[in-house]
Amino acid sequence: MRSTRVPSTRRGGRRRTVLAATGLVAALALTATACNGSDDDKAGGQAGAGASQAADGGGDGGGKVQVPADIADKLKKHGIDVDKWQNGGWKNWDKDKWLSEAKDFVNPVIEGLWKPERMKSAKEANKTVSTKDAAADTGVSDPEPQPVKAQAEKTPYHDNAAPVGKVFFDSPEGSMVCSGTVVKDVNHPGKSNLVWTAGHCVHAGKGGGWYRNIAFVPAYNDLGKSESELSNASASEIAPYGAWWADWASTSNEWIQGGSESGGDGAPYDYAVLHVKPESGSKSLEETVGAALDVDFSAPSATEVNTMGAWGYPAAPPFNGLKMFKCLDRPGRLSLTPSLPTMYRIGCTMTGGSSGGGWFRVVNGKTELVSNTSIGPVTNTWLAGPQLGKEAEGLYQNMSKTYGGQ
């Protein structure tokens, strides 16, 4: 995970219930029929920050980015030369050029930037906090869960976990990767362009700004091929639905103001929603992928849930970020400080790169997203994710109503 990681002392002996794995997996196995459609159906996304298109050219930024006047004015206001942006100007991470405020998100498309090789080379960035911080509220936190070994998802992913994919972005440390999930848009049924991920996958938190060149690739490496096999893989095998650029991103104010390299006070609010657009064609992400999941904003107590499952693309050793994995466990509570909301915690051995990946539970036979991977320990034995309550629902609704119909 481009994730924060919380070391903690190991707990002994909590019994985990027998997991209803088959029910959760079966419910998630949503066939994306559009995968067998036309090339237009499979085309990737390329419309950034309201950009109508990126003009000719490819490579790592060939062609000229065409940015709407309002976005160009915003960049200019912050001393950013639009004409130089796609030719490397975006690599300037000077603090005065790093847009930070919620209203300042911009993500102009650079055509051809996310080539297969660049996707493969994107790394997670591991973060840690002290054991003292992790144990700050042991009276509320449940005992540390036993590790649950991550299991490889069945291939092809478009048949078994179509809504899950990888989120790529650039940071001052280089090209990075997280995980994300296609979620439904309640105000635009059947035509969602929304992706759920973690806040730290789009914004650096306090003292930082928005990451750049954010794109989502659903069902990445659809057949789960090895690194050597991918060298000869077709574009449709690597990105069966293409790369969808975010034209807007929203994360919580708590993450922007309190998030840190170690999670900080923003960790319990470490969630984000992307609005993405395709490179060509008129179909939405949901129509193209053929599946999307509802989001559960009821923030159920961990004691009320028998099983949660986390899906993602772990990239830190012993994983390499090329394959999708999952963990299923009964959740417990993690409290970082008494003043912050508790987080969900499950046993899981997924590592960096899985951040932002959805956590799912089955409600009345239907799979719903209930959290996302945020933090975990350096020992890679568990993961924690935020509860999604009224604040998260407000962010989601604002994104849907403001950008969903675009």
Q: Say what percent of the chain tops pLDDT 90.
A: 58
Q: Residue 334: CB partners within 8 Å, gap ≥ 6?
A: 6, 141, 142, 342, 343, 344, 345, 384
| pLDDT value at residue 302 | 94
If you average pLDDT over residues 3-23, what whole number do you get?
Answer: 36
- 90-104, 179-193, 331-345, range with the lowest pLDDT: 90-104
- Measured at the CA of 36, the angle between CA 188 and CA 122, to 5 degrees, comes to 75
- Measured at the CA of 9, the angle between CA 7 and CA 12, to 5 degrees, comes to 135
Q: Give the global pTM.
A: 0.84
- 175-184, 210-219, 259-268, range with the lowest pLDDT: 259-268
Condensed to tens digits (0 to 9), the pLDDT of residues 231-289 reads 888 888 999 999 999 999 999 999 999 987 767 789 999 999 999 998 666 899 999 99
Task: Say if residue 46's pLDDT is above 50.
Answer: no
Task: Say if residue 187's pLDDT is above 70.
Answer: yes
User: Cis link prior to 318 (omega < 30° from 0)?
Assistant: yes
| pLDDT value at residue 271 | 97
| pLDDT value at residue 53 | 26
What average pLDDT is seen over the chain?
81
Q: Where are the beta strands (DSSP E) in 36-141?
A: 53-54, 65-66, 127-128
| pLDDT value at residue 126 | 53
| pLDDT value at residue 260 | 78
Task: Say if residue 59's pLDDT is above 60.
Answer: no
Confidence tier at 139 by pLDDT (50, 70, 90): low
Pinpoint the alpha helices (H) of 271-363. Answer: 285-289
CA distances from 209 to 105, 186, 235, 369, 379 (A): 9, 29, 32, 27, 29
Confidence tier at 177 by pLDDT (50, 70, 90): very high
If you average pLDDT over residues 212-232, what whole number do you get?
Answer: 94
Three-class secondary structure of residue 23 per DSSP: helix
Confidence tier at 28 by pLDDT (50, 70, 90): low
Tell me which of 232 and 327 has the higher pLDDT: 327
CA distances from 371 to 130, 248, 344 (A): 24, 21, 8
CATH of the domain at 387: 2.40.10.120
| pLDDT value at residue 68 | 62
Give the range of the structural domain holding residue 261, as residue numbers without chain letter. 4-403
| pLDDT value at residue 26 | 53
Task: Say if residue 33's pLDDT is above 50.
Answer: no
Confidence tier at 131 by pLDDT (50, 70, 90): very low
| pLDDT value at residue 14 | 31
- 37-51, 60-74, 187-201, 288-302, range with the lowest pLDDT: 37-51
Confidence tier at 73 by pLDDT (50, 70, 90): confident
63's tokens: 């062609």
- Name the most confidently modeled range: 28-42, 208-222, 252-266: 208-222
Phi-psi region of 50 (alpha: psi -120 to 50; beta: other; left: phi over 0): left
Tell me which of 84 and 196 has the higher pLDDT: 196
Three-class secondary structure of residue 66 per DSSP: strand
If you average pLDDT over residues 20-33, what whole number do you get?
Answer: 44
| pLDDT value at residue 67 | 63
Domains contained in the chain, number: 1
| pLDDT value at residue 34 | 37
If you average pLDDT over residues 11-19, what whole number do you get?
Answer: 32
Tell me which of 399 and 88 has the higher pLDDT: 399
